[in-house]
Amino acid sequence: MSNPFSQTPPASLAGNLDQAERVSTFLTRVYGWMFLGLAITGAVAYAVAGSPTLIQALVSNRLLFWLVLLAPIGFVWALSAKVDSLSPGQAAALFATYAALNGVTFAFILLVYTGESVATTFLTSAGAFGGLALYGTVTKRNLEGLGQFAMMGLFGLLIAMLVGFFWHSDTLQFVISVVGVIVFTCLTAYRAQQLRAMALALPEGQLGSYAVVGALGLYLAFVNLFLFLLRFMGRSRN
């Protein structure tokens, strides 16, 4: 009598197990990099906010201030556009630098809002993000339409924010905040589903670099969700 535990599983079952392991490995890397990026941002923000000398240098030097503010855009472009030619180490270095520069900007948020309201908003954002990312990962529903809706909303949001920069209106700012929360809620679920498909489609040698880019997409969704929720939940120190 043959031992059933020694038999090779059917090809389809083995293939499913391989796919599940591939997805699990890739998502572990993605979320690991994302959490590391958030940790870097938080640590830098806390250090800069606690240094009056650094804050004064940023406030008094307009060139340095705008360099810190705009430089992250270049890092996002480099990671997204050059991912095919970047090694995992290069991608990781760009992402870590981007997260650190974001931390310098976030230092001013820690100075404007109370620590309690920032912590409460962060925990709320983390809970919402976790639920949305889980849904996007496990759902069988195709979220492509939701993603297209979110991208159109994002373009509209950018235009509204540009208008709001020149035209100060409490009503417009409230609408921008509501739309921002909705847009990045949808994008979180959509990007989580994209990552699952990405894990199955990418060649083995590119998983490392794309894991960092996937982490960047989720990092941006989380940070923006946090910032828009902070408009509602944040309490000023003044």
More confident residue, 112 or 4: 112
SS (H, E, C) 13-38: HHHHHHHHHHHHHHHHHHHHHHHHHH
The sign of the CA dihedral 71, 110, 36, 17 is negative
What six digits make up the tokens of 89?
């180490």
- The answer to whether 133 and 185 are in contact (CB under 8 A) is no
Q: How far apart are CA 157 and CA 139, in angstroms?
A: 27
| Residue whose structure tokens are 């250090």 | 47
More confident residue, 28 or 168: 28
More confident residue, 112 or 82: 112
Span 177-199, mean pLDDT? Answer: 91
Domain positions in the chain are 21-233
Tens digit of each residue's pLDDT (9 = 90 or more) over 152-182: 988 888 898 888 888 888 888 899 899 999 9
> What's the pLDDT score for residue 192?
92
- The pLDDT of residue 2 is above 60: no
Tens digit of each residue's pLDDT (9 = 90 or more) over 65-96: 667 666 777 777 777 777 777 788 888 898 99
> What's the pLDDT score for residue 206?
67
